[in-house]
Chains A and B, each alone.
Chain A
């Protein structure tokens, strides 16, 4: 066996070719990228359809119906077929009926989301503007108290400015409202910049990981 046989390990070799083909997009969309793009979608869809059977329909529909004998699951078949009404003029409305039920189910989960996910954030936004008692022996006690108040006041002001920026129907005629809304937008830009800056490392780490895959796992130039 050749000393370079590791280059031909099917998983790494195929993986490396796939990686290089995708990376070629950044220079120019090309024939090889196109082939791999289509292969990617093909593999993904093949896998999606298979998992729809193996993870959903087989364990949640076929097995209960056929193996456990819960015969009523058969009734879901004509209901599911209603989706395909969109392909005919006559039955198109039936698909809307089924979609309607799904819309309803999706819509009302908002109440739990509002109470469970959102309201805690409202409560957490009550920021005290009075500092807590100083920690004993803190040489910077007044500085800490000062920054506590300033930061909390800033929190309330930023929150208010951003909220006012997002008022659509109230007339923004008064100078005060205009200025707060404008400030809100500027603060948003600063906040977005911060998000941008903090995301770069995570994204670059992914590229570094891919280069490491090519140089270490495949070519073994790096140890």
Chain B
């Protein structure tokens, strides 16, 4: 694989010739696949899915050389990761098309809130431009700042967009959760049923244990001996380690087995549901 990808001088006719040949080879293969009878398409997809999965399967299970701790596929992992990163990156267009199409439609039909869509598109274009420029021409001076009387370079503008805009919007949205946690706990912590009461009691104990008022409640208990177990911080610790961890582990057992089964169904094309049953 590596020799195939080997570097060659990249200005001669050989380079351009190989570029064209490479393109043609892939297009020919794809053309052949496309020309295959329609009823065999499902089988073709299944074969490719299986082959794709075979890589990591064999890499993991083939015996390794004890000296290097590698088998013949281990060295290829980096290449496969790079290849899937590159091909996966081409898909960015699917996202851009989806978003662009939606907002273009709103703008062109002047639907309610079309101004917002304009903001979105402009923000995206500006951010894209300055992110790229910041990478390759960070120090280029753009203008003299009228307020602070010093020159503003591309990196400075990028910082306003990134630190002032994107990072702050991100942090503010993250902080919204604090508000929502307050309203959600007010609503959910009711002694409606055994289940909701248990949820509430455990949450309140753990909360109380991390406050001064909470710990003050049981401060009169000794710090040693059997009674110490009833200090609220110890109850909280007990809930988090002795109750929570086996319960979480039980869930993880189920999730792992579920993921194993789903993975196998995908790999062996046994998965069912609209996408997998549809005519191709």
Contact = CB atoms under 8 A, between A and B. Distances in A.
Task: Find out whether A and B make contact in their complex, taking CB atoms under 8 A apart as touching.
Answer: yes
A132 B45 CA distance: 57
Contact of A166 (B124, B174, B250): B250
A18 B246 contact: no
Contact of A75 (B22, B61, B124, B269): B22
Contacts, number: 402
B50 interface: yes
Interface in B134-174: 135, 147-148, 159-174
A54 B132 contact: yes
B27 interface: yes
A104 B147 contact: no
A160 to B, nearest CB: 8
A35 to B, nearest CB: 6
B4 interface: yes
Interface in B33-73: 33-34, 41, 44-46, 48-57, 60-61
Interface string A1-45: 000010010111111101100110110000000111111111111
Q: B25, B239, B247, B260: which has the most chain A beta carbons within 10 Å?
A: B247
A80 B23 contact: no
A10 B164 contact: yes
A185 to B, nearest CB: 7
B135 A47 contact: no
A204 interface: yes
A110 B61 CA distance: 12
Main secondary structure of the interface of B (DSSP, over half): helix
B175 A70 contact: no
B84 A47 contact: no
Nearest to A101: B52
Contacts of A118: 252, 256
A47 to B, nearest CB: 5
Given A15-B163, A36-B169, A112 B85 contact: no
Interface in B118-133: 119-129, 131-132
Interface residues on A, range: 35 or more
Interface in B206-234: 206-207, 210, 224-226, 229
Interface string A36-65: 111111111111111111101100110010
A42 B124 contact: yes
A103 B86 contact: no
A79 B29 CA distance: 10
Given A105-B84, A155-B246, A66 B10 contact: yes
Contact of B195 (A54, A114, A115, A189): A189
B110 interface: no
B131 A42 contact: no
Given A46-B128, A74-B19, A206-B171, A193 B202 contact: yes
Nearest to A158: B246
A201 interface: yes
A26 to B, nearest CB: 5
B166 A12 contact: no
B25 A75 contact: yes
A72 interface: yes
B95 interface: yes
A165 B251 CA distance: 10
B86 A72 contact: no
Contacts of B266: 103-104, 106-107
Given A38-B123, A156-B246, 8 more contacts: A37-B116, A79-B26, A81-B90, A103-B267, A108-B53, A162-B250, A166-B253, A166-B254
18 contacts: A14-B160, A14-B168, A44-B127, A47-B128, A71-B10, A74-B23, A83-B90, A92-B280, A104-B52, A104-B55, A104-B266, A109-B56, A111-B57, A114-B256, A118-B252, A159-B246, A166-B253, A206-B171
Interface of B: 4-10, 15, 18-19, 22-23, 25-27, 30, 33-34, 41, 44-46, 48-57, 60-61, 80, 82-97, 99, 113, 115-117, 119-129, 131-132, 135, 147-148, 159-179, 181, 185, 194-196, 198-207, 210, 224-226, 229, 236, 239-240, 242-254, 256, 259-260, 263-264, 266-267, 269, 280
Q: A-B pairs with the 5 shortest C-beta distances? A: A162-B250, A193-B202, A104-B52, A42-B123, A46-B127
